[in-house]
């Protein structure tokens, strides 16, 4: 049974999950049969959501996108919630949700090779899973993320993303959220909305935009070819987004560009949204977004020890290269 433990000084949470050690690691040798492929439904836990052809039944072939609980979950919600602390140690039961979102029934494709129509279905699944746990009493956050490729930490080759819902707001989101709320209190405006206006005006770090979305290299990007993707209009919750077709176009083009430019097919992306049960000023000050990161070998002693990053490509130059990759 896993357990949450909190560092008493920094407030960082760790999930202690010894049972995860036994999960299969498909990259070591190509497994003869992939449990994520169409036709292999009986090899996974029962599906909790799918988008499928009319007339086909759950846990049978005929799906386009399929979601089921992780077979080796870091967190689970079929256990009672507990929480304990004294002045130094705080712990909680490994409560939460951990699901796998299989993005295509076909084994050989990766996310950036999916059709627009298929990417829209995947985005729809993200929206549905985020929404599904919105009202759960003990859950404070829903996080969608994707590891593609061995360098990005994936253990399965078949294109998939993951959904984790947790009783605590993740540390990285909390950092952004606190900054955003402070900014909002002072200026009565969403800092991200203000930033988007500036980035679109200056355009030196801009990569791509359409009516509803904009992608650019962040001013203080941590990694070469890191990209941020935002809705142009203020919105704290991806789960309320309606322009999924437009989003699929931008996301797919950006991922292709990043792949071409970085020369790497491995990447991570995360979808940051405001927490569940958000307060009014969190909703007004926070703006949902994707962070896309090519999987360069990243954490060495300097980064571990300091929390600083060293990026060897100027963000403006990375943006220019990405634009060239997109339009060539």
Give residues in contact with Zn ion (CB under 5 A).
34, 36-37, 107, 158, 190, 192-193, 234, 272, 287
User: Smallest gap, in angstroms, from Cβ of residue 275 to Zn ion?
Assistant: 13
User: Smallest gap, in angstroms, from Cβ of residue 122 to Zn ion?
Assistant: 15
Q: Which is nearer to Zn ion, 3 or 281 (CB)?
A: 281
Can you state the angle between helices 244-262 and 116-132, rounded to 10 degrees? 110
DSSP string, 260-283: HHHT-S-EEEEEE-PPTT--HHHH
User: Smallest gap, in angstroms, from Cβ of residue 158 to Zn ion?
Assistant: 3
Q: Which is nearer to Zn ion, 95 or 286 (CB)?
A: 286
Q: Which is nearer to Zn ion, 44 or 320 (CB)?
A: 44
The two beta strands, 227-231 and 213-216, are antiparallel
Q: Which is nearer to Zn ion, 99 or 103 (CB)?
A: 103
Residue 132 CB coordination number (10 Å): 18
Taking the C-alpha atoms of residue 287 and residue 272, their distance in angstroms, rounded to an integer, is: 8
User: Smallest gap, in angstroms, from Cβ of residue 186 to Zn ion?
Assistant: 15
Taking the C-alpha atoms of residue 225 and residue 313, their distance in angstroms, rounded to an integer, is: 8
Dihedral sign of CA atoms 178, 180, 184, 187 in order: positive
Report the side by side order of strands in the sheet with 63-69.
Answer: 49-52, 63-69, 97-102, 160-166, 141-148, 267-272, 289-294, 227-231, 213-216, 206-209
Exposure on the CB side of residue 304, measured as CA atoms within 13 A: 4
User: Smallest gap, in angstroms, from Cβ of residue 2 to Zn ion?
Assistant: 25
Question: What is the distance between the terminal CA atoms of the chain, rounded to a whole angstrom?
Answer: 51
Q: Which is nearer to Zn ion, 92 or 164 (CB)?
A: 164
User: Smallest gap, in angstroms, from Cβ of residue 107 to Zn ion?
Assistant: 3
User: Smallest gap, in angstroms, from Cβ of residue 117 to Zn ion?
Assistant: 20
Residue 216 CB coordination number (10 Å): 26
The CA R_g of the chain, rounded to the nearest whole Å, is 20
Q: Which is nearer to Zn ion, 85 or 185 (CB)?
A: 185
Taking the C-alpha atoms of residue 265 and residue 295, their distance in angstroms, rounded to an integer, is: 8
Q: Which is nearer to Zn ion, 253 or 289 (CB)?
A: 289
User: Smallest gap, in angstroms, from Cβ of residue 235 to Zn ion?
Assistant: 7
Q: Which is nearer to Zn ion, 51 or 193 (CB)?
A: 193
DSSP string, 144-206: EEEEESGGGT-S--S-EEEEEEESS--HHHHHHHHHHHHHHHHHSS-HHHHHHHHHHHH-SSE
User: Smallest gap, in angstroms, from Cβ of residue 140 to Zn ion?
Assistant: 16
Among 131, 121, 73, 128, which residue's Cα sits nearest to residue 97? 73
143 Cα distance to chain centroid: 6
């Amino acid at each position: 049974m896993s357990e949450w433990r909190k560092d008493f000084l920094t407030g960082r949470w760790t999930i202690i999950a010894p049972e995860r050690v036994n999960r299969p690691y498909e990259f070591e040798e190509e497994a003869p049969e992939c449990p994520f492929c169409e036709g292999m439904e009986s090899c996974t836990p029962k599906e909790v959501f799918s988008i499928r052809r009319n007339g086909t039944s759950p846990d049978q072939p005929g799906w386009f996108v399929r979601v089921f609980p992780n077979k080796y979950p870091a967190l689970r919600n079929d256990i009672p919630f507990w929480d304990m602390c004294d002045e130094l140690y705080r712990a909680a039961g490994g409560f939460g949700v951990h699901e796998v979102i299989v993005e295509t029934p076909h084994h050989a494709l990766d996310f950036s090779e999916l059709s627009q129509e298929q990417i829209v279905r995947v985005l729809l699944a993200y929206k549905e899973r985020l929404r599904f746990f919105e009202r759960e009493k003990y859950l404070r956050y829903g996080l969608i993320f994707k590891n593609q490729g061995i360098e990005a930490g994936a253990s399965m080759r078949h294109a998939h993303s993951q959904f984790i819902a947790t009783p605590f707001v993740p540390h990285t989101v909390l950092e952004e959220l606190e900054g955003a709320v402070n900014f909002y209190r002072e200026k009565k405006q969403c800092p991200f909305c203000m930033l988007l206006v500036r980035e679109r005006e200056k355009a030196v770090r801009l990569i791509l935009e359409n009516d509803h979305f904009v992608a650019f290299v962040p001013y203080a990007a941590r990694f070469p070819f890191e990209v941020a993707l935002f809705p142009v209009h203020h919105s704290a919750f991806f789960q309320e987004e309606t322009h999924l077709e437009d989003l699929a176009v931008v996301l797919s083009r950006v991922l292709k560009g990043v792949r071409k430019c970085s020369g790497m097919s491995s990447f991570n992306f995360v979808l940051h949204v405001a927490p569940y049960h958000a307060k009014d000023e969190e909703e007004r000050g926070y703006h949902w977004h994707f962070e896309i990161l090519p999987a360069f070998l990243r954490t060495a002693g300097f980064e571990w020890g300091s929390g600083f990053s060293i990026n060897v490509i100027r963000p403006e130059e990375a943006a220019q290269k990405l634009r060239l990759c997109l339009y060539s």
